[in-house]
Homo-oligomer: A and B are copies of this chain.
Amino acid sequence: MIKKILVANRGEIAVRVMRTCREMGISTVAVYSEADRKSLHVRYADEAYFIGNSPSNESYLVIDKILDAARKSKASAIHPGYGFLSENAEFARRCRKEGFIFIGPSSHSISTMGDKITARQTAMNAGIPVVPGTNREILNEKGLSGIVKEFGLPVMIKASAGGGGKGIRLVKNEKDLKSAVRAAKSEAMSAFGDDSVYIEKYISSPHHIEFQILADKFGNVIHLCERECSVQRRHQKIIEESPSPLMTPGLREKMGEAAVKAAKAVEYEGAGTVEFLVDEDLNFYFLEMNTRLQVEHPITERVIGVDLVKAQIHIAAGEPLMYKQSDICQLGHAIECRIYAEDPFRNFMPDPGLIRHITEPTGLGIRTDGYVYEGYEIPIFYDPMISKLIVWGIRRGDAIDRMKRALYEYKISGVKTSIPFLKNIMNTRSFIDGKYNTHFIEDNLETLIKPGTECGATCEDMSVIAAFFDYMTKIKMFQSPAQSVITPDGWKEYGKRKSITRL
């Protein structure tokens, strides 16, 4: 059995992993950079090791520092979370070489799926449909027009080492092709240190749908159904839901089988995600495989009823899968909204800063996975995602109603957040109808970035009155005999009544 796990990550995912460890009676080890001394994962863990300066390339991305902390703490296993070193084949190899259980797949699986050209080739060999395109790196510009003739325009140029929307170019006219390839190559080189690019046919109005898979060390692989992830802004997911409104039982079975095949093709172990593009005619194409836990894993946990981190740990400990494919079914509908510290009304500008006050939604069908607390200052160095809000309802409509209620209750002050933007999405017709694709945000941007006006004239005046009252109290302008009952500060009043002597 695994007794102690080092979590090589920060933020909500580090806390989320540690919560499951605590439930399993496993000790937890945090690592932290200078900016993260007060971060919740440090406070939540049983142990914490300092690993360097705030920029992640001087701390969370330095393999030696992570392994050093693992040795010092005598951890038996390392969980990489998502991001940072989670899809770094070298890290997985080093962990294992130095005697730690790496909670994730083999280096081989990671590197095969990490390079998109190899991944495409692997999927094709396994008989999984891929987006039509080149199966090799584009080495020179001579064959370009031939390629375009084969697939038709528009096409996408993509970096083989790609991720985060970098090294991608859409080409609509043949005359732009050469310059787009050059631009993509140069961007890929500066982002990933690798300028390999390939060309894919452009799928119009695509849905981004992914399948969660679980695979143990004994060759058992199952899928845990799909997540619809088409609500994206600049290739970053904003909202995910399960089931997908587009899905049919037949398509689910076919895509699930393809996902399992993809995992088997790389002898996958652990939790992973196979991403597909699906067009309006329900044709699906393998896109890539993420060889780690996803941000959006909680919606699968909710509709399937499985703790994915617990499953990861069991698999890493060498236990066979607890579930068979026939045990898996979706119950109800789950939606996740990602809450970012950013100002949706000022071009989504990140807004790090001090959290003054938080009220989180609770009650039936609500889960929050966050890491900020009152008095915490969000550092400027890392991802702006501060929380995930996951709701469940028996039907999709119930889940949307509950999400609206939860967003209404969710109050974070001190920093700007994406909550108003998310509220607007919940009120957009095509989202409500479940008829949207990856163009959704772009197509509706104008209405989505409109500040709410539901407050009305009286409500606006109430804000004015509150400010009037607060200011008058502050400057001690309320001098009537009734003054003693004004209690601008509950603590003070309490202090008085309890006759607390203060310094």
A interface residue numbers (CB < 8 A to B) = 15-16, 19-20, 22-25, 298, 301, 305-307, 310, 331-332, 354, 356, 359-360, 362-370, 373, 375, 377, 394, 398, 401-402, 404-405, 408, 474-475, 490-491, 494, 503
Contact = CB atoms under 8 A, between A and B. Distances in A.
A356 B310 CA distance: 35
A25 B359 CA distance: 22
Contact of A306 (B305, B368, B394): B394
A301 B366 CA distance: 13
13 contacts: A23-B398, A23-B401, A23-B404, A306-B394, A307-B364, A307-B394, A331-B331, A354-B490, A354-B494, A362-B367, A362-B370, A363-B367, A366-B367
A15 B24 CA distance: 33
Contact of A362 (B22, B360, B375): B360
A402 B375 CA distance: 27
Contact of A503 (B24, B404, B474, B491): B474
A11 to B, nearest CB: 14
Tallying the copies of this chain within the complex gives 2
Given A19-B405, A23-B402, A305-B331, A363 B354 contact: no
Nearest to A387: B362
A377 B24 contact: no
Contacts of A503: 474-475
A38 to B, nearest CB: 9
B364 A298 contact: yes
Contacts of A306: 394
A332 B331 CA distance: 12
A411 to B, nearest CB: 11
Contacts of A366: 367
Nearest to A404: B23
A363 B371 CA distance: 11
B401 A24 contact: yes
A26 to B, nearest CB: 11
Contacts of A310: 398
Contacts of A398: 23, 307, 310
A305 to B, nearest CB: 6
The 7 closest A-B pairs by CB, nearest first: A23-B401, A375-B490, A23-B405, A354-B494, A362-B368, A22-B405, A19-B363
A20 B370 contact: no
A2 to B, nearest CB: 15
Contacts of A307: 364-365, 394, 398
B367 A301 contact: no
